[in-house]
Amino acid sequence: MKQKKRRDPIPGKNATREELAEFWDTHSAADYWDELNPIKDRVAKNLSQGITIRFDELSLTKLRKKAYKKGIGPTTLARMWILDRLAST
């Protein structure tokens, strides 16, 4: 009979982002697969058109920092802001 390997508990819902990052930096999700729950996520389909927007270095750095704090890419954040602004006008 296979014995289960003793594992550290996954941080709870009150864990900070830093605590979660530290935990997953040192643990493999494969070892916790039986405890993880799938989520349903909607992803935009048919994003068929693209545009290029140029920023000065300071503005691009600010955008990247804000996106990083939210855990998303700068392109995604810019798209969210633009769509939000379009919806409000």
Q: What span, in angstroms and rounded, lies between the C-alpha atoms of 24 and 8?
A: 11
65 with 34, same domain: the answer is no
Q: What is the tens place of the pLDDT at every residue in 12-51? A: 889 999 999 999 899 888 888 888 877 777 777 776 788 9
As a whole number, mean pLDDT of residues 47-65 equals 92
Residues 6+ apart with CB under 8 A from 29: 36
Cβ density class 66-83: b for 16+ within 10 Å, e for less: ebeeeeeebeebbeeeee
33 in a domain, yes or no? Answer: yes
Q: Model pTM greater than 0.75? A: no
Q: How confident is the model at residue 86 (pLDDT cuts 50, 70, 90)?
A: very high
Question: Which range marks the domain in which residue 68 is found?
Answer: 50-89
As a whole number, mean pLDDT of residues 59-65 equals 96
Going by C-alpha positions, the residue among 69, 74, 73, 76 that lies closest to residue 18 is 69
What is the number of domains present in the chain? 2
As a whole number, mean pLDDT of residues 58-73 equals 95
